[in-house]
Amino acid sequence: MRTETAPTPDVDNLRAIARGDESALAAVYDQYSRILFGMILRILNDREEAEDVLQEVFLQVWRRAGDYDETRGRPFTWLVTLARSRAIDRFRALSSRQRAANEAVKEVSDEVSDAAKDAFKSEQGEAVRGALAELPEEQRRALLLAYFEGLSQSEIAVRLGTPLGTVKTRMRSGLIKLRELLGAQMDSLR
């Protein structure tokens, strides 16, 4: 649905937000709140917590839009990175009991949590899932553990019982392979 949208309007929106344009923030929200919320929910597996974090994320966007640096990635990347790190922070802050409960649920379904079962599976989502499925199992696992569980490389090494060097190689190879597989589609992924 938003496949034809060029990245330039996103950059413009962030600049407008930096200047204090509320409607620009509303536009960014309308465009990205669902994908960001889906990811936050995937990490936290708790709707209430996820909505709270989403609110925090957009408050941060409002305050820090001026920090966006085009040379470090697209606006979408900046938004996702911000949302992910907020969600991981919240995830870590949650009580260990709650975390344990949430992790138990995640073990059942590695790709889509129960809380996100009503997620809208977009074209982009299908494309990324397709590319991810082509990666060797151990590479895919390393990427997902890092990205959605916020584990560091050494924590992943411990979790998987794999040497740290192997984890590093898997992450690098996996991410580079994913980039190759997505190839031309990257532009449509914002």
Partner 1 sequence: MHEPYIEMIAAQALGALEAGESRSLEIHLAECSECRTVHAQLNDTAAALAYTAGEVEPSPGVRSRILENIKAEPRRTATEETGASKQSAPSNVVPITKPTRSLFRTALKYGAIAASIILAALIIATVLLWRQNQRMKAEIAQLGENANRTQQELAREREIVEAVTGPDATFLRLAGTDAAPRARARLAYDQYTGRAVLFAYDLPPAPPGKAYQLWFIAEGRPPMPGRVFKTDPTGRAMLRDEVPANGRDAKIFAVTLEPESGVQAPTSKPYLITPVS
Q: Which of residues 134-163 bind partner 1 (CB under 8 A)?
A: 143-144, 146-148, 150-154, 156
Query: How many chain residues are in contact with partner 1, going by CB under 8 A?
Result: 78
Q: What is d(CA 117, CA 119) in angstroms, rounded to the nearest whole number?
A: 5
Question: Could you tell me the smallest distance in angstroms from the CB atom of residue 57 to partner 1?
Answer: 9
For partner 1, the closer of residues 2 and 101 by Cβ is: 2
For partner 1, the closer of residues 39 and 90 by Cβ is: 39
- Residues in Cβ contact with 111 at an 8 Å cutoff, skipping those fewer than 6 apart: 129, 144
**Residues numbered 84-103 forming contacts with partner 1, rule: CB under 8 A:** 84-85, 88
For partner 1, the closer of residues 4 and 97 by Cβ is: 4
Question: Could you tell me the smallest distance in angstroms from the CB atom of residue 98 to partner 1?
Answer: 19
Q: What is d(CA 149, CA 167) in angstroms, rounded to the nearest whole number?
A: 15
Residues 79 and 32 sit within 8 Å (Cβ to Cβ): yes
The per-residue b/e assignment along 6-26, b for 16 or more CB within 10 angstroms, e otherwise, is eeeebeebbebbbeebeebbe
Q: What is d(CA 43, CA 85) in angstroms, rounded to the nearest whole number?
A: 10
For partner 1, the closer of residues 52 and 98 by Cβ is: 52
Residue 89, both tokens: 């922070």
Degrees to nearest 5, angle at CA 110 with 107 and 114? 80
- Residue 119 binds partner 1 (CB under 8 A): yes
- Residue 186 binds partner 1 (CB under 8 A): yes
| Binding characters for partner 1, 15-54, by CB under 8 A (x = yes) | ---xxx-x--xx--xx--xxxxxxx-xx-------xx--x
For partner 1, the closer of residues 102 and 143 by Cβ is: 143
